[in-house]
Structure 1
Amino acid sequence: MNIAVVGAGAIGSYLGGMLSNESMNVSLIARGEHLKQMKKNGLTLKTNNHEKTIKATFTDSMDAIKGADLILFTVKSPDTLKTAREMMPFVKKEASILTFQNGVSNEEVLADLYGEKQVLSGAAHISAQVAAPGAVKQEGNHLFFIGSLSDDNCQKAEEVVQLFENSGINARSSDRILERKWRKSLWNVTFNPLSAVTGAAVGEILDSPELNKTAELVLKEIVEVAKKANIKVTKKAIDQVFSDAALVRHHKTSMLQDREKGKPMEVEALCGYFVKKARRLEVDTPVLETLYSLLTFIDVRKG
């Protein structure tokens, strides 16, 4: 089986490394120093149980997608449309494109270009980071949910789940994958924009009475948007947002990490999309609106 990982950062490299074996032809499309080191020394993959060096195809060329049966799409959300268009000439019609990205808007972009039947959606619950160029570290438990956008493509999602499981990746299928991604977004929208604006880690938000109250207001707003969009949100899912945050107190959110590194933040995927959705649904989101305004200004000023 031929697999291509487009945007091989932390999660993409982890998946590509785990899937790489004698029966899999895996290509990781990356860039920068991470790519340079992988080309030179292979990918060093550190997990809870072991450390290994992965030998695969490492490249920055979309040519690596040719012949791929499965494309793991793990680019940052601001690059979704541009990257999806760039790879179109190389994607065969039988290939499945599985997105593991933040937010719930990337599926719409990919489906518009490739059709719902060719796109699978995934929700990644994992702590992984590029510890150094060419080296990815994964800690703690992990779980990947995978589902189809089209009812007649459920079997393909099941096959990918089995592929992951056979490679030592914990995975489950979901027949309501977008609903699950909305539930994951409760946490992301509550903590990512606020941390990116303030520079606060998760624990600092929890410990500050002012920031904690702001986070509670954001959560309340995003829950109202979800309900108005007919997304089922349980009390357990809502309560879990802050209890999960307490488990990762020292964590810097992905948006804050991007801001500190001078990279484009996922402003639209983790804030703007939900603000605009709220406007269409006539839901008031004053706190999210404010955060969106601030983040947009920060990104524009940063250039």
Structure 2
Amino acid sequence: MPSLAVVGAGAVGGTLAAYLTLSGADVTLIARGESFRRIRERGAVLRTPSAEISVNVRCTEEVEERYDVVVYATKSYQLPSAAEMVRSTPSRSSLHVCLQNGLGNEEVLKKYFGEERCSTGVIYISKLLWNASFNPVTALLDLSIGEVVKNPHALEVVRSAAEEVLSLARAEGIEMNEDVVDKTIEATVRMGGGA
């Protein structure tokens, strides 16, 4: 079984490490400061609609060994220091995977580890659909989300962009519900743009 390290104990990193631990994977969560102390004391907490589960995840503040896969779930601005910490270990890891919002993160990892050892992952494709449809429209039209949801013409542009994201996802073999575009727009309208 490959050994995995998850760097970053926020919502994505903590959840990923907890689920990997529950599946029986050999995983270490690398956290710092308050996150490290909280996880050492209480474990990683998974919150689902029906339960709250504390998972005893192996957690450390430093990279202690060679891992087959290192997953980076830090904020983008933290990536260079996280990559440097991993690179400074005596034996280097095999594969480095970016699970972060933002652009250019994979390029940062490639500078540290080389192109052949880096990859990118996606956790929430529906969040990407929202970001790729609403964010450009707000920027191009100089409108807030609240203003976009009240403007039928702007919402039509949002719908068109969201359908393009859905089309691209399907072309890449990513299955999404037929109604994901409608539900994404309806939820944002229902919240009055407070997404």
Is the pair's TM-score, using the shorter chain for normalization, greater than 0.5? yes
Query: Is the Cα contact below 8 Å between 1:42 and 1:54 reproduced in 2?
Result: yes
Partner letter of residue 46 of structure 1?
R
Partner letter of residue 209 of structure 1?
N
Residue 84 (structure 1) aligned with residue 86 (structure 2): no
Superposed CA deviations along residues 18-51 of structure 1, whole A, max 9, x for unmatched, are 0004843322222343332212111221224543
Give the Cα–Cα distance (whole angstroms) in 1 for the partners of residues 31 and 187 of structure 2: 31
Q: 3-state DSSP class of the match of 1:112?
A: helix
TM superposition outliers: structure 1 runs of 4+ over 6 Å: none
Query: Is the Cα contact below 8 Å between 1:69 and 1:96 reproduced in 2?
Result: yes
Residue 187 (structure 1) aligned with residue 130 (structure 2): yes
Aligned equivalent of 1:41? 42
Give the Cα–Cα distance (whole angstroms) in 2 for the partners of residues 252 and 10 of structure 1: 20
Give the Cα–Cα distance (whole angstroms) in 2 for the partners of residues 235 and 41 of structure 1: 39
Query: Is the Cα contact below 8 Å between 2:5 and 2:28 reproduced in 1?
Result: yes
**What is the Cα deviation at residue 186 of structure 1?**
5.9
Partner letter of residue 62 of structure 2?
M
Aligned equivalent of 1:54? 55
Partner letter of residue 77 of structure 2?
P
Give the Cα–Cα distance (whole angstroms) in 2 for the partners of residues 35 and 215 of structure 1: 45
Going from structure 1 to structure 2, the CA distance change for 1:235 and 1:22 (only over 3 Å counts) comes to: closer
Give the Cα–Cα distance (whole angstroms) in 2 for the partners of residues 235 and 90 of structure 1: 41
TM-score, with length taken from structure 2: 0.68
Query: Is the Cα contact below 8 Å between 2:5 and 2:71 reproduced in 1?
Result: yes
**Aligned ranges 1:1-303 → 2 under 5 Å:** 1-21=2-22, 23-48=24-49, 50-59=51-60, 61-64=61-64, 66-90=65-89, 92-125=91-124, 185=128, 187-192=130-135, 194=138, 204-209=146-151, 213=154, 216=157, 236=167, 244-248=184-188, 249-250=190-191
Partner letter of residue 9 of structure 1?
G
Query: Is the Cα contact below 8 Å between 1:62 and 1:90 reproduced in 2?
Result: no
Give unmatched runs, 5+ long, in structure 2. Answer: 170-178
Higher helix share: 1
Partner letter of residue 51 of structure 1?
E
Superposed CA deviations along residues 267-291 of structure 1, whole A, max 9, x for unmatched, are xxxxxxxxxxxxxxxxxxxxxxxxx
Q: 3-state DSSP class of the match of 1:82?
A: helix
Going from structure 1 to structure 2, the CA distance change for 1:80 and 1:246 (only over 3 Å counts) comes to: farther
Identity fraction in percent? 28
Query: Is the Cα contact below 8 Å between 1:3 and 1:69 reproduced in 2?
Result: yes
Partner letter of residue 213 of structure 1?
A
Give the Cα–Cα distance (whole angstroms) in 2 for the partners of residues 123 and 97 of structure 1: 14
Going from structure 1 to structure 2, the CA distance change for 1:54 and 1:240 (only over 3 Å counts) comes to: closer
TM-score, with length taken from structure 1: 0.47
Aligned equivalent of 2:173? none
Superposed CA deviations along residues 53-77 of structure 1, whole A, max 9, x for unmatched, are 1112223x2324x222221111111
Query: Is the Cα contact below 8 Å between 2:7 and 2:30 reproduced in 1?
Result: yes
**What is the Cα deviation at residue 115 of structure 1?**
1.4
Partner letter of residue 26 of structure 1?
V
**What is the Cα deviation at residue 236 of structure 1?**
4.2
Query: Is the Cα contact below 8 Å between 2:4 and 2:68 reproduced in 1?
Result: yes
Partner letter of residue 131 of structure 2?
N
Query: Is the Cα contact below 8 Å between 1:103 and 1:185 reproduced in 2?
Result: no
Q: 3-state DSSP class of the match of 2:63?
A: helix
Going from structure 1 to structure 2, the CA distance change for 1:93 and 1:40 (only over 3 Å counts) comes to: closer
